[in-house]
């Protein structure tokens, strides 16, 4: 479903701040894979997701989604293949617009926008049902401006928006990192449900090793801009945090450095 082939991205090339963020990264995801992504500080986790989403162009390599080479497509065109939830709860929604308006925008991802009404009556009912499934009482506040909602509520809405039109790949970029533990657990549970219900191919970056182990059918670890560990199936089910740390140091020849991952 998703093929990343030898992708390289260098920031600030030729300056003292040069940073090789992705270093010949390759990754193949099969349809229905729910892959968690873990790695130390600056390992390239978010950079990989941004490369897939087309936030900027990559220096080398190809990105292929569902058989189509999207390497040269601008961000807004790739959007038709992707559902995205960001680390910052402010980033995934339009704060000055109503909840239903945000959902209606997402329902038209990848479609031509015309002079038809921005929301149809049928959609309002559909959105009410879907919001009710979030179990946050938002179905009674559909015309509330999203800017008035909490971070957790906004992430839940962003998740719903990402799945309104079935994406080829769902990209979750540390989407619970900015939330308090209780809300984070709820949003994670919701993510599981949405991925499962829609059978979505998913990449979930997380800084929490336990979450990375507990969710999904596959786990990859990045280091210095490439995949150093790829664990799937039965192997992943038996995995523990200490296993993971040990296998990381064997694979990379370094100690794992990420305070948040170890403390989280």
- 144, 95 Cβ separation under 8 angstroms: no
Should residue 57 be labelled a site residue for other proteins when binding is judged by CB under 8 A?
Answer: no
From candidates 35, 37, 53, 184, binder to other proteins by CB under 8 A: 53
Backbone φ, ψ for residue 20 (5° rounding): -80, 100
Q: How far is the CB of 233 from other proteins (least distance, A)?
A: 32
Q: How far is the CB of 217 from other proteins (least distance, A)?
A: 25
From candidates 30, 57, 60, 77, binder to other proteins by CB under 8 A: 77
Should residue 148 be labelled a site residue for other proteins when binding is judged by CB under 8 A?
Answer: no
Measured distance CA(258)–CA(45) in Å, rounded: 12
Q: How far is the CB of 219 from other proteins (least distance, A)?
A: 25
- 63, 3 Cβ separation under 8 angstroms: yes
Q: Which of residues 88-147 bind other proteins (CB under 8 A)?
A: 88-97, 101, 104-106, 108-111, 113-118
Which DSSP string corresponds to 206-263?
Answer: -S-HHHHHHSSSEEEEEETTEEEEEEEHHHHHT--HHHHHHHHHHHHSS----HHHHH
Q: Which is nearer to other proteins, 161 or 205 (CB)?
A: 161
Should residue 150 be labelled a site residue for other proteins when binding is judged by CB under 8 A?
Answer: yes
Instruction: Mention every residue, 6+ apart, whose C-beta is less than 8 A from residue 158.
Output: 85, 86, 89, 92, 93, 175
Q: How far is the CB of 234 from other proteins (least distance, A)?
A: 35
Should residue 76 be labelled a site residue for other proteins when binding is judged by CB under 8 A?
Answer: yes
Q: How far is the CB of 123 from other proteins (least distance, A)?
A: 12
Q: Which residues bind other proteins (CB under 8 A)?
A: 53, 75-77, 79-80, 82, 84, 86, 88-97, 101, 104-106, 108-111, 113-118, 150-151, 161, 178-179
């Amino acid at each position: 479903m998703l093929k990343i082939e030898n992708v390289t991205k260098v920031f600030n090339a030729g300056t003292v701040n040069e940073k090789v963020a992705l270093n010949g990264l390759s990754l193949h995801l099969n349809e229905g894979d729910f892959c968690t992504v873990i790695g130390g500080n600056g390992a390239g986790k978010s950079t990989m997701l941004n490369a897939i989403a087309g936030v900027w162009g990559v220096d080398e390599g190809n990105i292929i989604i569902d058989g189509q080479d999207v390497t040269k497509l601008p961000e807004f065109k790739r959007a038709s293949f992707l559902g995205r939830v960001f680390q910052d709860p402010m980033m995934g929604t339009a704060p000055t617009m109503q909840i239903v308006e945000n959902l209606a925008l997402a329902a038209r991802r990848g479609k031509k926008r015309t002079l038809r009404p921005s929301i149809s009556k049928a959609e309002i009912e559909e959105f009410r049902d879907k919001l009710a499934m979030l179990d946050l009482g938002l179905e009674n506040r559909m015309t509330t401006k999203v800017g008035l909602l909490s971070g957790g509520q906004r992430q839940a809405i962003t998740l719903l928006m990402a799945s309104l039109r079935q994406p080829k790949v769902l990209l979750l970029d540390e989407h619970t990192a900015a939330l308090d533990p209780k809300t984070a657990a709820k949003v994670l549970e919701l993510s599981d449900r949405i991925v499962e219900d829609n059978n979505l191919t998913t990449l979930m970056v997380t800084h929490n090793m336990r979450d990375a182990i507990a969710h999904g059918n596959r786990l990859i670890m990045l280091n210095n801009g490439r995949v150093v560990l790829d664990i799937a199936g039965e192997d992943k089910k038996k995995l523990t945090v200490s296993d993971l740390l040990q296998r990381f140091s064997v694979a990379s020849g370094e100690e794992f450095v990420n305070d948040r991952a170890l403390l989280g």
